[in-house]
Structure 1
Amino acid sequence: MAARMTNNMGEGITDAEGKPADPFQFGSGHFEPTKAADPGLVYDASYEDYLLYLCNINVTSLAPKFKCPKVAPKTTDLNYPSLSISKIRGPVTVRRTVTNVSSGKSLYFASVKPPMGFSVVVQPSILKFNKIGEKKRFTITVKPHKDAKSMVGDNGYGFGWYTWTDGVHMVRSPMAVSLA
């Protein structure tokens, strides 16, 4: 993993006031450059992918020659490691693609720490790579429990993560989910 959940002193990451930080403040964690040189898996997103994302949030002035499609992909489907879903009412499924950049043959297993009040399923839960540069797609389905509102409140976010590991690499991605 190229980031960890503790600071250089082995303590939890804090905000500018010294209070415990949340994933909106620390993202995937404290960056570890030596591990970033061999991340195992990467999430590719092209220039066009970002333009399509901007179409979906009505920011079209940044690339005036680019024509937005009539139906742009969902913003949640930008191939980005982290996952943020707001105003979730029922199950939401997002797609991601990872590229193997480490050893030729590898087997990655998914694990999840779901946000409190939500269930999260990764499908498939095992990715088998035969060569460097090979890509694999998977989905993440997030579903609120009936009592999610009591756990995160009306305007709060629940935080969790999903992780891919092959025993050598640990690729952790944060999740933030809200009901409002």
Structure 2
Amino acid sequence: MGNVGRPAATPLAIRSGHIEPNRALDPGLVCDASIDDYVRFLCAMKYISKQIKMITKIYSFDCSHASLDLNYPSFIAFFNRNKTVASDKVVREFQRMVTDVAHAMVSYNAKVVAMKGFAIRVMQEKLVFHEKYEKKSFALILVGEEP
């Protein structure tokens, strides 16, 4: 059962990790996100216009392209608790664009560990950068069952 009497954690509060401030000086890879990306994300999170304006200081924006897939190192997937057929597989795909800010020649290999009930696949398991500030993209595909 767990967490009896406690509120559920938000997606961004789960597995937040250990902070190492000195590593922030040389991150290796960064995920670039524009203000428009954040506005689309806030729209998808159902923030009201007044809240979005307060956070972003932008007073004219369009929520017609709302998206939870913010180009960010974490991934958010919502599942339908009220679904009646428990055996349905769900697939969530996340696209990420990363920039190498550390070295001219470097490669990164994906290593993922799936939670129980899920399978995870990374498309572009190895990213090879030939010059500093080069950009590469990859996709993470999450396959699981609706709870």
TM-score w.r.t. the length of structure 1 is 0.61
Distance in structure 2 (CA, Å) of the matches to 1:118 and 1:46: 31
- Flag structure 1 segments of 5+ consecutive residues without an equivalent: 1-22, 149-178
Please state how far the C-alpha of 1:69 moved relative to its aligned partner.
Answer: 4.8
Distance in structure 1 (CA, Å) of the matches to 2:63 and 2:15: 34
Q: Structure 1's 73 and 94: CA in aligned 2 closer, same or farther, altered over 3 A?
A: farther
Distance in structure 1 (CA, Å) of the matches to 2:124 and 2:100: 16
What residue number does 1:83 align with? 75
What residue number does 1:130 align with? 130
- Flag structure 2 segments of 5+ consecutive residues without an equivalent: 1-11, 81-88
What amino acid sits opposite 1:53 in the alignment?
A: F
Distance in structure 2 (CA, Å) of the matches to 1:66 and 1:24: 30
1:53 equivalent to 2:45? Answer no
C-alpha RMSD of the superposition: 2.1
What residue number does 2:27 align with? 39
- By percentage of residues, which structure has more strand? 1
Identity %, equivalent residues = 32
1:1-180, aligned counterparts within 5 Å? 24=13, 27=16, 29-59=17-47, 60-61=49-50, 62-63=52-53, 65-70=59-64, 72-75=65-68, 77-87=69-79, 89-144=89-144, 179-180=146-147
Please state how far the C-alpha of 1:90 moved relative to its aligned partner.
Answer: 1.0
**Local SS of the residue matching 1:85:** coil
**Local SS of the residue matching 2:128:** strand
TM-score w.r.t. the length of structure 2 is 0.73
Q: Structure 1's 54 and 138: CA in aligned 2 closer, same or farther, altered over 3 A?
A: same
Distance in structure 1 (CA, Å) of the matches to 2:66 and 2:119: 24
Count, aligned residues? 122
What residue number does 2:7 align with? none
Q: Structure 1's 116 and 124: CA in aligned 2 closer, same or farther, altered over 3 A?
A: same
